[in-house]
Amino acid sequence: MPELLEDEVTYEAAPEVRRPLLVLACGAIAREVLAVIRLNGWTHVEVRCLPGKLHNTPPEIARRVDAKLSEAEASGRYERVFVAYADCGTGGALDRVLERHGVERLPGDHCYGFFAGVERWLAMHEAEPATFYLTDFLCRHFERLVIHGLRLDDHPELLPDYFGNYRRLVYLAQTDDPELVERARGAAVRLGGLEFEHVRTGFGDLAPALERFAVRSGDDALEGGDPP
């Protein structure tokens, strides 16, 4: 799904669903959101993804989500909407947008927290605050988001300025993919020989959050019938 880094992408609900539920998601977790939806067989849920690269400019996240929520409301198409973002560095700006629209989001401050589980992530962070975290998405796009994004390819001398205080890299893995483990291990070497740790999280708190949203469907989700 390389387009999820740069583009907006929509995965529509089944055509017979009259008023689907909408998950407005970060492209960086689109694979995981779609996996939960498919595992549960939710044909009444539509997913619209904003570009994963917005994480390089967190102030843009709240503005873009606000615009998409306004668009969804004006369309009258959706029974309900859920935002598959954590705070993601917006400093509370995203929550203020969601409060205006009456919409809920994923728990915690970032994807590391809801993938690992907030309490588990806090314990990891307390054990070693000087930790750089990767997810499956960040492993796949490490070169573009970290190396190119921070211009370390053009200015390798900046590496100590960005990562000199880090001691550990933790790969929070959503899948069992040996190739991604090796990419993460290579990233630890690339960032100055950081201690490497691989933690298998699966979908963490993402799955129950989506389940709570998706099962509260109203009777009008399908024309002439009950929600699927």
Q: Based on the domain organization, do 162 and 194 belong to the same domain?
A: yes
- Give me the CATH number covering residue 78: 3.40.50
Calpha distance 36→2 (Å, rounded): 20
pTM for the structure as a whole: 0.88
- 223 inside domain: no
Answer for the pair 76, 110: CB distance below 8 angstroms, yes or no: no
Residues 103 and 171 in one domain: no
Helices (H), the chain: 3-6, 30-40, 59-75, 93-101, 111-116, 118-127, 136-140, 142, 159-163, 178-190, 206-214
| Same domain for 103 and 19 | yes
Do 137 and 61 share a domain, yes or no?
no
pLDDT tens-place string over residues 152-207: 999 999 999 999 999 999 999 999 999 999 999 999 999 999 999 999 999 999 99
Q: Are 126 and 148 part of one and the same domain?
A: yes
Q: Are residues 145 and 55 in the same domain?
A: no
Same domain, yes or no: 78 and 188? no
pLDDT tens-digit readout, 1-34: 446 888 899 999 999 999 999 999 999 999 999 9
Number of domains in the chain: 2
User: Rounded distance, CA 36 to CA 38, Å?
Assistant: 6
**Does residue 183 sit within a domain?**
yes
Reference 172, options 164, 163, 181; nearest CA is 181
Domain hosting residue 12, numbered range:
3-107+205-214
What average pLDDT is seen over the chain? 91
